[in-house]
Amino acid sequence: MRLSLDRRLTVGAALFAVVAAAAPATAAHAAPATPSAARTAAPVSAVAPDLDGITQVLQNTLAAGAPGAVARFTGPDGVRTRAEGVQDRTTGAAMDPRSRFRIGSVTKTFSTVVLLQLVSEGKLALDAPVNQYLTGLLPDDRITVRHLLTHRSGLSDYTNAMFDKTVPGFEAVRNRVFSYQELVDLSLKEPRTTEPGVSYKYSNTNFVVVGMLIEKLTKHGVATEYKRRIIKPLGLTNTSYVHPDTAIKGRHAHGYLHPDEAGAPLVDSTEQTVSWAQSAGAMISNEKDLSTFMSALLGGRLLKSDMLDAMITMTPTDATNTRFYGLGLRRYDLSCGTSVYGHTGTVQGFYTYIFTTRDGSRSLAAMANTSNRGQANTALGGTLEPAFCGKKTPAATGLRSASKARTATATTAPAEVDLPERHAR
Ligand code: REX
């Protein structure tokens, strides 16, 4: 599926991606009148990933405290993977780009796709009150379905209190099984953060309620709907929702949680129910599947165009005006003018990034097997720039020595093929 999509990337599609990258922040991607308005200097397809740059970022991520880190770029020239460090500190096994891991909040994008398909089927309306479908659940009839998907409901995030003390908080829920209602009740015990619709405030509670909507409207568990609507059609053989099972089956990376106390040993957090997150964060996947999923989504293969337009209609999440949230989807505007769409994830032991260009033709999946280590997460996010913006000139980076940059520029990316992707179960 990936290859055929790449082959379909015509000059026109590349131009569209350039134009789309220049669209205003608050509008869906209606192309501006002339491509000259585009912020991207070269057609998107012409920017080769800076693989040395990606390797450097992965090494920085290890230096910041991750046992291992891995990135997988796919684009018109195929797949490139880079891995550093270990995926298992006990056996010393090297990080493997094919390995499965916990994707945390990237699950929110899966949940959004299911819900928006249900909107297309006429089973609910984006601007209808949540209480219309889940009678009496929320304390305010003004909270709409769209408010959940945009993190504008004002429902507080119960995970802040739950994980105030990182390791004790984690150990207290590692094997617990919550009902959705119990999680919503935890949130409702806390004051709401905003009036409905007023401002963006990230909260896992929103996507717990999304899970409740999916189950109510389909009369199935979310696992069934993820499988039927996304996992099977896209052939995502490494992707699953196994709540409340605690194991990651098959070839997988171990996750290592940093305790709050400096110098305390890492905690192997691989096994847990993730019941505290469920439809907000409990899926398992690998880099290949995440890339296939995000490319298919942005490429228009999972949603009707009006729903995809709604999903990519973004508002800023911070003052930098480079980071945005739509419906269960983020957009980052990179230094070269390219905008990328996707999601991030944090679950104990794993940081994830999966982002793709507007046309789905290029994507970057990155994972580090650690968490509660902000500097490692920030370092890992640094993979986006070399992946989508390519090599920076020495003047632009100001970091590399001129001789190193010259060597790097002279070396074209090695013709690397992806490792064979066998499905260990
Ligand atoms: C929970 C605490 C983090 C993690 C969280 N995760 O809300 C959701 C998610 C599912 O993926 N969100 C991220 C723990 C931000 C996203 O959308 O990108 N932190 C850890 C603590 C802090 O325990 N005391 O770092 O593992």
Over pLDDT 70: what percentage of the chain? 82
Q: Which residues line ligand 1 (CB under 6 A)?
A: 104-105, 159, 163, 166, 169, 204, 257, 277, 280-281, 344-348, 371-372
Choice between 408 and 74, residue whose per-residue pLDDT is larger: 74
The whole-angstrom separation of Cα 2 and Cα 322 is: 28
Write down the catalytic residue from 45, 105, 240, 285. Answer: 105
Prediction pTM value? 0.86
pLDDT of the residue at 34:
26
pLDDT of the residue at 393:
73
Compute the distance from residue 279 Cα to the ligand 1 centre, in Å.
14
pLDDT for 413 beyond 50: no
pLDDT of the residue at 162:
98
Count helices and strands (H / E) in the chain.
17, 13
Based on the residue annotation, tell me whether 269 is a catalytic residue of this protein.
no
The whole-angstrom separation of Cα 402 and Cα 337 is: 24
Q: What is the pLDDT of residues 208-245, one digit of tens each?
A: 999 999 999 999 999 999 999 999 999 999 999 999 99
Q: Smallest Cα–Cα separation from 290: which of 107, 20, 77, 57?
A: 107
DSSP state of 227: I
CA 268 to chain centroid, in Å, comes to 22
Compute the distance from residue 61 Cα to the ligand 1 centre, in Å.
18
Q: What is the mean pLDDT of residues 299-306?
A: 98
